[in-house]
A and B are shown apart, each in its own frame.
Chain A
Amino acid sequence: MTNGWPDIQHADMILVMGGNAAEAHPCGFKWVTEAMEHRKAKFVVVDPRFTRSAAIADFYAPIRVGTDITFLGGVINYLLSKGKIHEEYVRNYTNAPFLINGDFSFKDGLFSGYDESKRSYDKKSWTYQMGADGFAQVDMTMKDPRCVYQLMKSHFSRYTPEKVSQICGTPKEAFLKVAEMMSETSRPDKVMTILYALGWTQHSHGAQNIRTMAMIQMLLGNVGRPGGGVNALRGHANVQGITDMCAYSEVLSGYMLSPMESDDTREQYLKVRTPKALRPGSMNFPQNFPKWNTSLMKAYYGNNATKENDFGYHYLPKRDGQYDILANFERMAQGQVNGLICQGFNPLAALPNKNKLGKALANLKYMVVIDPLKTESAEFWKNFGEMNNAKPEDIKTEVIRLPSTCFAEDPGTFTSSGRVIQWHWAAGDAPGEAKTDREITGTLFTKIRDLYKKEGGKGREPLMAIKWDYSSGTNPPAEEVTKEISGRALVDIKDPKTGAVLFKAGEHLPGFGVLRDDGTTECGNWIYGGCWSQVGNLTARRNNSDEGGMGNHLGWGYSWPANRRVLYNRAGVTPDGKPWDPKRPGIQWDGTKWAGIDVPDIAPALGPSTGAGPFIMNPEGVGRFFAPAMAEGPFPEHYEPFETPVGKNLMHPNHPKVTSNPCSRVYKADAATFGKADEFPYAATTYRLTEHFHFWTKHAQSNAVTQPQPFVEIGEALAKEKGIKNGDMVRVWSNRGQVKAVASVTKRIRPMTVNGKPLHHVGIPIHWGLVGVAKNGFLANELTPYVADANSHTPEFKAFLVNIAKV
C-alpha cells in the first residue's frame, strides 16, 4: 500500500476492483465502512461477480475476467477527453511533459522494438529525448506531439466506452457511471483510493493492470495524498515482509535486483543499478544503491566482505536465466532439479496446473517440507483417488517433514500491507516436536556447513564466508536477526567534514540515510533500516495516540521506509508546499524545511525552489505515465488472457500474434495445454472466501463449520442451459484437469454480452484440498494454466476457460 490501512477513512471515494476487500480483508475493510459512515464516502465495486464487497457498495459494475486494462484504459480516455484531470499535479508531478524519442511507436498491438523470437522488446526507442545538459527534455505546455501527455492521449483514444463495453461486457451506462464517479476526484478537495489484490496481480498482464490504475490516480492527483494512493492488499499477515526480505530468488533484500551472469564485476553490477538524475534538482534517491548494497554484503558476509575482495561479490550466485517459481518448477518438470525445500509453502496447491506440479515433484530425489500443518505438497505421492491419482510405487522422491511452529508460537515481526513492521510475541509453546523456522534453518545451516567443512564440495567458499555470529548458531534469536536487518555501525562513523563521531562502533543506526558504501556499516535490508535503533525495538511500539488526528500513529510499530505512513507525500501538497486539501494535511513546507504529521518523503531541506520532484525513487523525480521498465510496453495495452473466450484481441482483431501478452513466457509443453473457446466456452476464475485462509484453515474446525465443502458458482442462465440445480454435484474441467464440487446457482453471476455474444462465468473458490478437517476435495489449480505475468511471473489464476456439466 502507498497509504496505510487507517488512511482509507479519509477517502471520498473507494474503488474496489481486482480484489474483494470485504471478503478477503474483512478487518481492514472496516476503514471503508468508516469512510462511508463518517465522510459520506462513495463505495464502488467492479468485479465479474457480485461479491460480499458489492453487497454494501453504492454502485456495482460487472466486468469480464482479464479485461481490466480495457476498462481502466477507458477511464483514462474519459478523463483526458473530458479534461477531468488534476492538471497542476499532472504537469508538475508526472512525466506527462517529457518528450519521447522520435523512434518510439505503437502499431497493431506492438510497440517499437519487438523481437518475436525472444518474446521481448529492444527498448532503445522507449527513451526520453535528452538535452545537451544531460537531462530529459520537457514541454511544460504538454502540447508537443512527442510529449508523454499527447502520446498517452492518442494511445488511449481507442478505448471508447463502446470498445470497453464490447470487450469487458460491462454495460456502457455502468462503465460511464463509474468513470464519472472517479472523475469527480480530479478536484483537489476530493480524493479516491483504490483497494486491489490478487484479482489484478494474477493475470498474464497483472503488473499492467495495476499500472493503468496508478496512471488514473496520477491523472486525478490522488497519489501521495491522505485518502488516496494505490493500495495493494496483501494475502498473508506477513506476505509484505516476505517480499521485502527477498524470499524470492531474483531479488536481494529491499528490492535490489540480484546479479545476472552479465554483471561480470561488482562495478558493472552497481553501475547498471545506480541511475543518474534525469532532471535538474531531482533527488534521485536510487543513487544510494551502492550504500544499500555494500551494507547488505556486510550483513551477509561480515569480515569476509572487504574492499579488496569487492565486498564478496563473487560469493553471490549470478543468474544465468529466470529463477522465478514457475521457471524452477519447469526445470523440475524437465528433471533438472534434485531437491526442494518447501518452507511455509504448499506448491502443489499454490501454483498452476496441479497435474504438472505433481509430475515435477515426482522427479525430485528429495523434498523437505517445513510446515506447521499437513500440506498437500507433502502428500503429493499418495493416492487420493481421482482427486490425486498418484502411484506411490512409481515415485522415488523421499519426503522429509519437519514440523514448524505457527506465528503465535514464535516471536518475530509481521509486516502488514500498510508496510507497518510489528513485533509479535509468542503466545504459547508449540506442540510435540515442532520447532521455530529459525531453529530449523539455523540447525540445517550449521549442520550443512559442518559437513562442507569436513568433506568439501561445490560452492564451499560462499558457505564458509557467511557471517553467522548469533548467540546461538542453531537457533538465532529473533531479536538478533531483527537488529542485523535494521543495521549498525561497524566502526566509529565520523562526519566527513568535522571528523566528529556520529555513531560509535556497534551502535544501531537510525536509518538507511546514514548507510555507507565503504564497508563501515551493515544493514540486512535497507528499507527496514532504523526499525531497531539505539532507542530500542521500534517494531514493538504500541503507542496508539493519534497526534495530528489523521490516524498516522507514528508511535505504533515502524512503517518502512523511515516510519513514513503515506508514500510520496510530497505529492500530497502543492508545488509550493501547501496541502492540496487543508482539511486533510500530511506534510507541508514551513519556509525552511518539510514538516508535518507524517515523515516527509523527501529530504527535509529540498524545498519547493529546488525543483526536486516528489517521486524520489525515480531519477526523473516524477511519476511515470510512460514507463520503459515494463516488459510489454511503456503504456498498458489490452491483451486477452492466454485462454480467451473471444479468441482474438478485439483491439487488434487482425493480428493474432498480439491476442495475448506478446512478452509472457510460454513453455512449449504448456502452450499445448491451453484450451480454446469451442471446447471450453466459459470464462473461469479462482478466488478466496472470507471463512477460510488459503489452504490452512481447512484444518481448523471453526472455519470448516462455516464453510465446509468445495463448491463452484454459476449464474442461473448457465445452470438452466445445463440442467444444473442449486446443490447439484457438477464437474468442471479445463484442458488440464477437473474438479467436482457442489454447484451454487446464483443471481450474483450474470451472463455478459461480450463482442455481441452472451458469455457465462464460472467461479471457483479455492481452500479445500486433499487433507484437513473440512470436507476434502479437488485442488482448484487442477484447472489453471501454467502461464504468468511478463514482469512479476505471477500466474494467471484469474482468467481461464472451462466447461461444466452435471455429474
Chain B
Amino acid sequence: MATAQTMNIVNRSATTAPMPVKSNPDIAVAKLIDESKCIGCKACQVACMQWNDNRDEIGSTVGVYDNPADLTTKSWTVMRFNEVERADGGLDWLIRKDGCMHCEDPGCLKACPAPGAIVKYENGIVDFVKDNCIGCGYCVAGCPFNVPRISKDDHKAYKCTLCSDRVAQGEGAACAKSCPTKAIRFGKKKDLVEWANNRVKDLKERGYQNAGLYNPQGVGGTHVMYVLRHSDKPEAYNGLPSDPQISPTVNMWKGVTKTVLSWGMGVAVLAGLAHYFIKGPKEVDEKGHDA
C-alpha cells in the first residue's frame, strides 16, 4: 500500500492566482491499462459503481457487449468493445476501458469558468468539485476524450475521480484493485511507464510490432495510460484519438476568462478566490469533499 498523500492543488479552474500548474513528477500517480491483458470482464465497472455508490439504470442491449452503452453521470468507466478484421484474415476484439484520462494539461479545467470546480492535484489527478460546479458543460467541450457528463438531476458534471478519495488514504484506484488479470495497475507514473515499456517489449516479441504506450503529449501526457497492441492506430479502440489536443476555442476561452477575471467577475468568484488566498491550496478528506 502506498502512503497517504497530501492532496495539494497545483491548478484550479477560473483562478488567476499563480500556481505551479504542473504535477510533481516525484509523486505523480497514474493508472496503466494494459489492453493486451484486458478480458473485458467489467469488474472495474462494477468496482467503480460500488466504491462510488453509483447505480446506473438497467438499460437495454443494443447488440454489443457495451453496457451501459456510454459513460454516464453514474457510470464513470465503461468497456468499449470493437471488432476489427486483421489484414491476415484474423480478428482482433479490441476491448478498451474508457473513462477520464486525467490529462497533465486538462482541457476540462482550462474550459471551466467556475472557480475551483475543477482542480488538479500535485499528484496529477484531475478532480471535479461538485459544490463549485455550475453545470455549464464547458468541461465537456474542453475534453478531447469526450468524458464528462452533466446530470439532468442536479446539473453537475461527473467523471472518474481516479479514486482521489482512496489515493488520499494511500489506496489505489478501486478499478485497479478489482482487476483480476492486473490489466489495470495503479502506482507512481514513472514506475508505470517503466513497467509499460517492458510490456511493450514482450508484445513486440509476440509479434505485435506496433505495440506501444499511449501517453499522448498533446495534452502534456496523461495520468491514465494504455499499453496498446496496435498503438499505431489508437482510433481502432473505439475512436481513441491518435493526437488529442485541447480545442483551440477552449484555449481562446481560457484567455477570455483570464481577462474577465482580472476585471473582477462578481462576488462569488471573488469569494472563491479569497478562500484560496486565505486558506491556501485545498486538501480533501477521505470522502473526496473539500476540507
Contact = CB atoms under 8 A, between A and B. Distances in A.
B140 interface: no
Interface stretch (B15-23, B61-69, B148-156, B276-284): B61-69
A775 B39 contact: no
Interface stretch (A123-131, A294-302, A603-611, A702-710): A702-710
Given A52-B41, A747-B91, A30 B202 contact: no
B194 interface: no
Given A55-B40, A708-B67, A726-B62, A702 B180 contact: no
B96 to A, nearest CB: 11
A332 interface: no
A705 B57 contact: yes
A746 interface: yes
Contact of A702 (B36, B50, B92): B50
Contacts of A40: 202, 205
B55 interface: yes
Contacts of B57: 705
A716 to B, nearest CB: 10
A33 B182 contact: yes
B43 interface: yes
Given A690-B42, A701-B58, A708-B59, A746 B183 contact: no
B181 interface: yes
B88 to A, nearest CB: 11
A702 B64 contact: no
B191 to A, nearest CB: 16
B46 A706 contact: yes
Contacts of A635: none
Interface in B67-95: 67-68, 75, 83, 85, 90-95
B61 to A, nearest CB: 4
Contact of B37 (A23, A33, A702, A748): A33
A52 B63 contact: no
A33 B181 contact: yes
Interface string A28-42: 011011001100100
Contact of B58 (A22, A33, A690, A774): A774
Contacts of B90: 60
A54 interface: yes
B93 A705 contact: no
Given A33-B183, A690-B41, A705-B58, A747 B83 contact: yes
Interface in A699-746: 701-711, 726-728, 742-746
Given A26-B181, A773-B58, A702 B46 contact: yes
Contacts of A26: 39, 41, 43, 180-181
A492 interface: no
B64 A744 contact: yes
Given A30-B180, A709-B60, A56 B67 contact: no
Interface string A46-59: 00001011111010
A705 B67 contact: yes
Interface in B129-148: none
B166 interface: no
B67 A707 contact: yes
B49 interface: yes
Given A50-B93, A55-B40, A705 B68 contact: yes
Given A22-B39, A22-B41, A742-B62, A58 B67 contact: no
Contact of B45 (A22, A706, A708): A706
B199 interface: yes
A263 interface: no
Interface in B5-61: 36-43, 45-46, 49-50, 55-61
A531 B45 CA distance: 38
A74 to B, nearest CB: 21
B18 to A, nearest CB: 44
Nearest to B90: A60
A42 B157 CA distance: 44
B39 A52 contact: yes
Contact of B182 (A30, A60, A705): A30
B206 A58 contact: yes
A771 to B, nearest CB: 14
A744 B67 contact: no
B183 to A, nearest CB: 7
Interface in B258-277: none
A691 interface: yes
Contacts of B65: 707, 744
B55 A705 contact: yes
A747 B85 contact: yes
Contacts of B202: 37, 40
Interface string A766-781: 0000000111000000
A27 interface: yes
Nearest to B42: A706
Contact of A37 (B45, B60, B61, B199): B199
A32 B207 CA distance: 18
Contact of A29 (B39, B56, B67, B94): B39
Contacts of A60: 90-91
B63 A727 contact: yes
B49 A702 contact: yes
Most buried by A among B50, B65, B199, B202: B65
Contacts of A29: 39, 180-181
B91 A708 contact: no
A53 B39 contact: yes
Contacts of B182: 30, 33
Interface in B82-128: 83, 85, 90-95
Most buried by A among B41, B45, B92, B95: B41
A286 to B, nearest CB: 38
Contacts of A703: 46
A570 B75 CA distance: 52
A169 to B, nearest CB: 15
B11 to A, nearest CB: 34
Contact of B63 (A702, A743, A748): A743
A57 B128 CA distance: 38
A708 B58 CA distance: 6
Interface in B233-291: none
Interface string A740-771: 00111111100000000000000000000000
A63 B40 CA distance: 23
Given A705-B49, A707-B67, A774-B58, A50 B205 contact: no
A804 to B, nearest CB: 14
Contacts of A748: 83, 91, 93
Interface in A191-216: none
A744 B63 contact: yes
Nearest to A710: B61
B60 to A, nearest CB: 6
A714 to B, nearest CB: 10
Nearest to B89: A171
A705 B94 CA distance: 21
A614 B67 CA distance: 50
Nearest to B95: A55
A34 B3 CA distance: 27
B83 to A, nearest CB: 4
A724 B14 CA distance: 51
A172 to B, nearest CB: 14
Contact of B42 (A56, A691, A726): A691
Given A26-B39, A745-B63, A704 B58 contact: yes
Contacts of A27: 180
Nearest to A744: B63
Contacts of B59: 705, 708-709
Given A705-B55, A705-B56, 16 more contacts: A22-B41, A33-B181, A55-B92, A56-B39, A701-B55, A702-B50, A705-B57, A706-B42, A706-B68, A709-B61, A726-B64, A727-B63, A742-B61, A742-B62, A744-B64, A745-B63
8 contacts: A40-B202, A56-B36, A702-B46, A704-B58, A707-B67, A744-B65, A745-B63, A773-B58
| 4 closest residue pairs by CB, A with B | A726-B63, A22-B39, A727-B63, A709-B61
